[in-house]
Amino acid sequence: MNAPTQVLPVDPVHPDPAAIAMAAAALHAGQLVAFPTETVYGLGANALDVAAVARIFAAKERPASDPLIVHIADAGQVDEVAHEVPRLARELAARFWPGPLTLVLPRGPRIPPNVSAGRATVAVRVPRHPVALALLRAARLPVAAPSANRFARPSPTAAAHVLEDLAGRVEIVLDGGPTPIGVESTVVDLTGAEPRLLRPGGIPLEALQALAPGLAYAPRYLAPDADETPAAPGMLLKHYSPSAEVLLFVGPPAAARARMEQAVRERIAAGQRVGVLAPEEEAPAFARLGAAVESLGPRDELEAAASRLFGGLRALDAQGVAAILVRAPERAGLGLAIWDRLFRATEGRVIEVNGG
Ligand code: TXA
Ligand code: MG
């Protein structure tokens, strides 16, 4: 596939209707449009067009077994893409849509099977970014959109990241600036006996449990070469991966930080280029040791860390580091989503540090 990619800069709050109309026309013509959502950039196609949906998988080099999220403009359209919508879905939608929550529901007859990788279910969300909403309203179509990165690369939080991965593979990129949340939506499966959290994301688990007390989360990560077919898709390790090796330090902050400093010294002494993702208060100390450092923003501000996470991984990769060292956040609130993305990027290489 080799389409010239047209980048259309748009105001993130009041996008130019002419640019939105062009992008909507491209979707109707079976083309691909990348657009900002409040989480990350999506790579969109008309969800009702089998061939357009197939182009998403080709552009991303994504396995056909990994289903896509269908984006709609309004909760009222959920019955156009799903059927037998349970009451809990309506309640969660009323509370959290538009916003970073994806609901897995029984797939409606209009949605072609390749959107859902052949499953009888469909993942649906209403994004709240004004550019995404303007596009969905102008197109009057459900839009299938995974994150607009090549498969297993960090998700794109800026139009430049989309171009890094997909230039020449997408017809239009709506550039609405950086995406505010920076990690993907929370995915909840409502098709089983009990609701299940499949992917932690922009809406914290705790907020969902207030409405869905039975909501369970039992992460089961799979190695990329596992023969086992994932019971839930999207559980692969080696996802969100930069080219560098990622080392995740888990443990009490002071002890983990000391171990990281020791690891930086050893690797630099061995001639390696080393990258560190760290809170801004800790960045200067790592820089003095000779590491390339990207800031995650003020310590303990999980929103800042989430919004800088994927960009930080890409920036360190671009500097050619062999390893990226990072300390794990607490697994609560947005920290659960950050932990999940970092853990997958490590492909399981976690360094447990005991108290000190
Ligand atoms: O924030 C987001 O969700 C972004 C923006 C663009 O909306 N999209 C996104 O899409 O992250 P993607 O394709 O990168 O991730 C979709 C996740 C995957 O983990 C996929 O396996 C899961 O949702 N998923 C999609 N359809 C599903 C289904 N029918 N059943 C179970 N999981 C599903
Ligand atoms: Mg993705």
Phi, psi (deg, nearest 5) at residue 194: -120, 145
Amino acid (1-letter code) at residue 158 = A
Q: Specify the DSSP class assigned to residue 236.
A: B
Q: DSSP state, 244? A: S
| Closest atom of ligand 1 relative to the 100 alpha carbon | 1
Predicted model pTM: 0.95
Ligand nearest to the CA of 157: 1
The residue contributing the CA closest to ligand 1 atom 15 is 146
Mean residue pLDDT of the chain comes to 94
Q: Which ligand approaches the C-alpha of residue 197 most closely? A: 1
How far does residue 184's CA lie from ligand 2's centre (Å)? 8
Alpha helix segments (H runs only) across the chain: 17-28, 50-60, 78-81, 87-96, 130-139, 159-166, 205-211, 253-269, 283-288, 302-318, 335-345
Query: Among all ligands shown, which has an atom nearest to the Cα of 135?
Result: 1
Binding site membership of 68 for ligand 1 (Cβ less than 6 Å): yes
The reported pLDDT for the residue numbered 97 is 98
* 8-state DSSP, 197: E
| Ligand 1 contact, 325 CB (< 6 A) | no
Q: What is the distance in A from the centroid of ligand 1 to the CA of 70?
A: 9
pLDDT at 254 over 60: yes
Phi first, then psi: give them for residue 342, nearest 5 degrees. -65, -40
Best probe residue, ligand 1, of 147, 153, 235 (max atoms within 8 Å of C-beta): 147
Per-residue confidence band for 285, with pLDDT thresholds at 50, 70 and 90:
very high
- Lowest mean pLDDT: which of 51-60, 111-120, 291-300, 342-351? 342-351
Atom of ligand 1 nearest to the CA of 202: 1
What is the C-alpha separation between 141 and 49, in angstroms, rounded? Answer: 10
Question: What is the percentage of the chain residues whose pLDDT exceeds 70?
Answer: 94
- The answer to whether the CB of 307 is under 6 A from ligand 1 is no
- For the CA of 198, the nearest ligand: 1
Return the exposure string of 46-78: e unless at least 16 CB atoms fall within 10 Å of the residue's CB, then b. Answer: bbbbeebbebbbebbebeeebbbbbbbbebebb
Ligand 1 atom closest to Cα of 232?
31
Q: How far apart are CA 319 and CA 69, in angstroms?
A: 33
Decide: helix, strand or coil at residue 250. Answer: strand
Per-residue pLDDT for 227 more than 60?
no
Q: Which of 29-43, 108-122, 239-253, 314-328 has the lowest mean pLDDT?
A: 239-253
pLDDT tens profile 197-213: 999 999 999 999 999 99
CB atoms closer than 10 angstroms to residue 216: 12
Q: Which of 53, 184, 220, 310 to mutate to test the pocket of ligand 1 (most atoms within 8 A of CB)?
A: 184
356 C-alpha to ligand 1 centroid (Å): 39
Cα 43 from Cα 174, distance rounded (Å): 10
Residue 276 pLDDT greater than 70, yes or no: yes
Tell me, using a 6 A CB cutoff, whether residue 179 lines ligand 1.
Answer: no
- For residue 171, give both structure tokens: 């017809």
pLDDT at 185: 98
Q: Cβ contacts of residue 325 below 8 Å, gap of 6+?
A: 247, 249, 260, 263, 264, 274, 275, 276, 277, 291
Determine what percent of the chain falls in helix, strand and coil, rounding each to the nearest 5: 35, 20, 45
Residues 6+ apart with CB under 8 A from 345: 154, 239, 240, 241, 242, 246, 248, 313
pLDDT at 2 over 70: no
* Six token digits for residue 59: 């552009």
pLDDT given at position 219: 81
Distance 127 CA to ligand 2 centre (A): 15
Q: Which pairing describes strands 274-278 and 292-295: parallel, antiparallel, or unpaired?
A: parallel
Ligand 1 atom nearest residue 181's Cα: 1
pLDDT tens readout for residues 179-202: 999 999 999 999 999 999 999 999
